[in-house]
Amino acid sequence: MNGFNLSNITDAKLGTTQLSSIYLGSTKLWPLGTDYSKEYLTFESLADNNRILWKLNGDMDAKTIEWSTDKTNWTSVTATTRTVITTLNTGDKVYIKGSNASYGATWGKYNYFSSDGEFNVYGNIMSLIHGDNFIGNNTLSGQCNFYFMFYNSKVVDASNLILPNACQNHTYSNMFNGCTSLINVPLMQQTTTAYQSNINMFDGCSSLLDGPTLLASSVNMYSYREMFRNCTLLRSVTVYAENLGASGFDNWLQNVSATGTFTKKSSMTLFPEGASGIPSGWTVIDV
């Protein structure tokens, strides 16, 4: 990139999708400032007396994580049906790390975060997997790594949450399901998908206006199934898949806005109309 100064960029879009940041792998290229790929998973409270909880659903192993408010003194906490990590006031932050390969199992078994009030989440989610050694480490193993991780929580802004460019079966399944306050979503770096890797990821996010850009050129079985179902205000999606006719897209845009913009690759060979393809009232443009 000789002769190209990214610091001069003041605004960036991919097609019609507004970008908040540009990464090369897990390295932030733009904008200059905080490199969230080098930050622990962080919750920042948007309310006073806001309890952050670490909870367990279903019959599976309760996972232990560590939390800190200063990145120096860490406290261990193990999930129960309603474990309080800490209570934050507006602007307060808590940092999270862990050393678990995954936090869920199939059939509705998962460890997950919750809260009393709204919060923003940012930083590198891989601090949940690799503890202090998360920087530059995108390795995932097993499955259900972040399954239902923020289910029904009051997260508002996740645009600076760094997700790895790898995935396993069910990795992001239901990750933000039911997050009705969610407005800004993470950058999706995946160029490949896995079985049900993103199924129901944003299901029920009724405040969401714009979906992330989906870079994968081919989509595994059920990968994007019901991904944006019941995102009733959703008005834009950008997808690089070559074919929408596969089972990976079943009802992925069911019950979204009646009008919107669907940005696709010009080489896409099959794009059916409707909830399993492109909503009938949406405008289609090519990139």
pLDDT of residue 246: 77
Spatial distance between the Cα atoms of 28 and 7, rounded to a whole number of angstroms: 12
pLDDT of residue 7: 52
Spatial distance between the Cα atoms of 166 and 203, rounded to a whole number of angstroms: 21
pLDDT of residue 2: 44
Question: Which residue, chain included where needed, has tokens 């409707």?
Answer: 274
pLDDT of residue 9: 66
pLDDT of residue 269: 87
Residue 251 contacts residue 227 (beta carbons within 8 Å) = no
* Token couple for 226: 């019901």
pLDDT of residue 225: 97
- For the chain, domain boundaries: 1-8+29-143
pLDDT of residue 1: 41
pLDDT of residue 63: 98
Low-confidence ranges of the chain (pLDDT < 70): 1-11, 14-18, 20, 23-32
Helix, strand, coil share of the chain (percent; to 5): 5, 30, 60
- Cis peptide bond upstream of 31, omega within 30: yes
Residue 127 contacts residue 153 (beta carbons within 8 Å) = no
Q: How many CB atoms lie within 10 A of CB 18?
A: 13
For residue 233, CA distances in Å to 122, 207, 263, 276 come to 23, 6, 17, 17
Question: Which residue, chain included where needed, has tokens 């990821």?
Answer: 201
